[in-house]
Structure 1
């Protein structure tokens, strides 16, 4: 349960960071580009706001053990947010996000222990539910912050949890390419992985064995690589041996 509480605390910290970054934005800034080139900052915030409402439905379903919300409910939420003007998207996103975080924080110990949440990949416990939201939230908060501060990094408290959650995403996010098995060493937090490339992409704990290359970088930077956000302009020092970093970036174009 300690892990659940630490993840909830990280989700709160990510919300607080988003509010610090987004609340002072001017109308011109919210209409400016976000890191994803197809979205404005307002649209990034709208995505977080609508996501908070959708996760609120999933939270209620898991706690109350009622049927999972239907896709029509999600589409209705997206339609409402898409119809808002940019100023409302930016302001309302912070309020919607705050409500979700507060509702997660208000769960009793019994609810934290017993709730089962209907996520897109199947039933999950609260730790996984929070990790899913944190992975989206921390990365999209960076999408906003980096447009104001090119040196911005993903919230440190979120990095370990998001990397753990990302193990289940890389198979969907990674594009097929030449086969390889890269030994990845990350720091802060320290960990070692096997990044498996080819027709199917996977991220596994490092257990030794064959390798086609080695990659050493901060954990925060590796997280952004997997999420398609480690372009040359936003890369720290990376040690790559027999690894084409640009080719690796193309494997993970982002989502």
Structure 2
């Protein structure tokens, strides 16, 4: 961490207009949250599936043999596709007759086949200091024990977190869990559950700078999780402490 601090100071001092007034290191708590979700695979509906759905919609079909004879398609293919459509709830059997469901009608109309995938899970990282999920990789904690960020809530260790499903989906999207390959698109359709697993302290480097030419004092904060300057934390410190810094470093 000390080497990182030195590198950041050297980088900032390349601007001859600024002077470093103070530096410090502290950490922010990051929650590792396990999100269990269900993804949906969307593909362009093939011609045979369309023909079968239209047939189920317009005719009274009781078995695969009947539709095989109507469409002149091998019965084995018809049977396999019928089972898929039953499983994905595009059709149902009512009074021994296959019928389209509302879901089947909608997908036929859109020409897109949606297939629900097995539930899976991935960890996402939440920062109470940002009130947001962050994208990054947790690293091994430094040997040096750092103070916690001074604007973290006192009871943060006992805080019970709850999340809107939309925010979880956005975090998973940021991790690349939605993708498109050719005509196949995978999207997250449902958040099953979230579990707060543990809290990791992520180091940050705070550097207070003074620009004499512009007569402005301000903070830069390097977030080691994001591996970049963190505007959110900088803005928090600038809003809360700029007058304090001026009195401490310039008016004394």
The structure that is helix-richer by fraction is: 1
Q: Using CA pairs below 8 Å that are at least 6 residues apart, which structure has the higher relative contact order?
A: 2
The TM tier, using the shorter chain, reads under 0.3
The structure that is strand-richer by fraction is: 2
TM-score normalized by structure 1?
0.21
Higher Cα radius of gyration? 2
TM-score normalized by structure 2?
0.21
